[in-house]
Amino acid sequence: MAEVILMPRLSDTMTEGVIAAWHKKIGDPVKKGDLLAEIETDKATMELESYKDGTLLHIGGDKGAKIQVDDLLAIVGNAGEDISGLLSGKGQQKEAAAPSPSPQAQAQPAPAPQSQENKATGMDLSKMEEVVLMPRLSDTMTEGVIAAWHKKVGDPVKKGDVLADIETDKATMELESYKNGKLLYQGAQPGEKIAVNDLLCIIGDEGKVDVNSIVAASKGGVQPQAQAPQQPSSAPAAAQPAAQQPSQPAQATSQSTTPEGRIKASPLAKQLAREKGIDLSQVQGTGDNGRITKTDIDNYKPSQQAPVQQPAVQPSAPVVSGQEGHTDLTVSQMRKVIAKRLGESKFSAPHFYLTMEINMDNAMVARAQMNEVSDVKISFNDMVVKAAAMALRKHPAVNSSWMGDFIRQYQHIHIGVAVAIEDGLIVPVVRFADQKTLSQIATESKELAGKARNKKLQPNEFTGNTFTISNLGMMDIEEFTAIINPPDSAIMAVGRIKEIVVRKGEGFGVSNVMKITLSCDHRSVDGAVGASFLQTFKKYLENPVTMLV
């Protein structure tokens, strides 16, 4: 099915993009990851990749055309597919397009850049070429945490160099420079937060940029105390991660260190090392070209450990000794957003719960038969996704969102599948799940889950859900209730499949059953509606052949 691609916001101040070049023309086949176009923003010319396979059916403008952010950029679908509805229904493009933010994010305008003209200084930082503001790297991001700086104050910077790793509420992402110059100022040290559109850093010619005036403007016109521009913030050295302290003696260049002295490590490995207080220069990387990975951090053991104290004399009776203590764990950006959104959901949406037992005997037989011919292994969760999507087609009231003054019923069905990762929970989205085969759902679900665990999901892959499934059956959980994932009106909690003894004919036999619990928002879904949905879902799952018709 054709999908609309809207003009993304590729910089913090971008309002429109100019088509610098198209790398595909209408009718060309497109694969996921192919370069579609080059987009010129107010900051730089950036490459835009396709996020799906198909054929380029429409472009929103020729080379040199200006397109506003969130306006139609392109349509990718099947060759010969009718796209007249997408072209005429521009009002629904934001729902159909993957890169667009969730309904909540659309309802709340982005905060105005702090770098608007300051009355005390007369400076408009958003128009200064030397200023880099904290960009909005995800649709729900309000602030970013500096996971690591790849450049220090005074270092030369080239266009395309990685400046820093920024931890958002969704992932840790690399931020590249869009200009050449020297890094003159850093707005925060590793582990510190910077709000979206606040001053991140300054890059320019040391003799031509008044750093103190720019910093003063970013802080409301208060002139900071004079300081050498090369000096980092005055935070105690002990509070900085060991790999970031410029005052430490130089380490011998290892396999994980570049000739320039930068340690090669994944953003997640850097974050874990910072949280555990591990010096990356002491870790041996096992990734490509010696790159340090999460596994290296998990397996790292200090070379010297404190000797275990043994009692001088063994007492005749056992002696219990111990030391009280606790550990305070820093809350990640992702965990903060999870807490905020689910707290709002639990205490603003009136939840009610419906539990049903599903006989899985036929599903187990059908799955075994399908896996004999399928190129990819189909899981029970894939069958649950398919059955739920088809049931939603018959019960659109469940496929909805409470919007305050009205209820929005979606015509498309995008199933979010909750995936547990180290920092919390993220929900990749299987789009148009009702129209996909079980093999397609299985392939896409495995790919999305892998990208989620490696923090490689793109924004269009974890936004736009209309219904969510949370499955803990593989962890031997028999039954549980889940908190609704906004903006959905319902979430399905799936337990494990277990054997029970049942009466069969004149005797007894064993059947396989699975319990599912539907959490519903009573503002948009009534009890009878939720129950009818579950009855339809039960029919599909207990008779899997009906899902193939």
* pLDDT tens digits along 389-412: 999 999 999 999 999 999 999 999
User: Per-residue confidence at 328, pLDDT binned at 50, 70, 90?
Assistant: confident
In this prediction, residues 22-27 reach a mean pLDDT of 91
Residue 489: predicted pLDDT: 97
Residue 427 pLDDT more than 90?
yes
In this prediction, residues 164-190 reach a mean pLDDT of 85
Residue 238: predicted pLDDT: 38
* pLDDT tens digits along 433-477: 999 999 999 999 999 999 988 888 888 898 899 999 999 999 999
Residue 12: predicted pLDDT: 56
Residue 311: predicted pLDDT: 53
Task: Provide the annotated active-site residues.
Answer: 522, 526
Residue 539: predicted pLDDT: 97
Residue spans of beta strands (DSSP E) within 232-382: 351-359
> Facing residues of 494 across strands?
471, 516
H/E element, 470: strand 467-471
DSSP 132: E
Residue 320 pLDDT more than 90?
no
Distance in angstroms (rounded) separating the CA atoms of residues 228 and 85: 60
Distance in angstroms (rounded) separating the CA atoms of residues 513 and 178: 57
Which residue do the tokens 């892959």 mark? 461
Amino acid symbol at 89: G
Contact 297, 272 (CB under 8 A): yes
Contact 442, 318 (CB under 8 A): no
> Facing residues of 194 across strands?
144
Residue 34: predicted pLDDT: 79
In this prediction, residues 281-288 reach a mean pLDDT of 80
User: Per-residue confidence at 230, pLDDT binned at 50, 70, 90?
Assistant: very low
Which three-class secondary structure state does DSSP give residue 274?
A: helix
In this prediction, residues 179-207 reach a mean pLDDT of 90
Residue 103 pLDDT more than 50?
no
User: Per-residue confidence at 203, pLDDT binned at 50, 70, 90?
Assistant: very high
* pLDDT tens digits along 292-312: 887 888 888 876 444 445 555
Residue 243 pLDDT more than 70?
no
User: Per-residue confidence at 248, pLDDT binned at 50, 70, 90?
Assistant: very low
H-type alpha helices, 135-236: 211-218
Contact 459, 475 (CB under 8 A): no
User: Per-residue confidence at 262, pLDDT binned at 50, 70, 90?
Assistant: low
Distance in angstroms (rounded) separating the CA atoms of residues 421 and 85: 38
Domains and CATH numbers, the chain: 3-77 (2.40.50.100), 129-204 (2.40.50.100), 335-547 (3.30.559.10)
Residue 488 pLDDT more than 80?
yes
Residue 159 pLDDT more than 50?
yes
How is 500-537 classified by DSSP, letter by letter?
Answer: EEEEETTEEEEEEEEEEEEEEETTT--HHHHHHHHHHH
Q: Across 235-239, 250-254, 448-452, 459-463, which has the greatest mean pLDDT?
A: 448-452
- Both tokens of residue 301? 């053991």
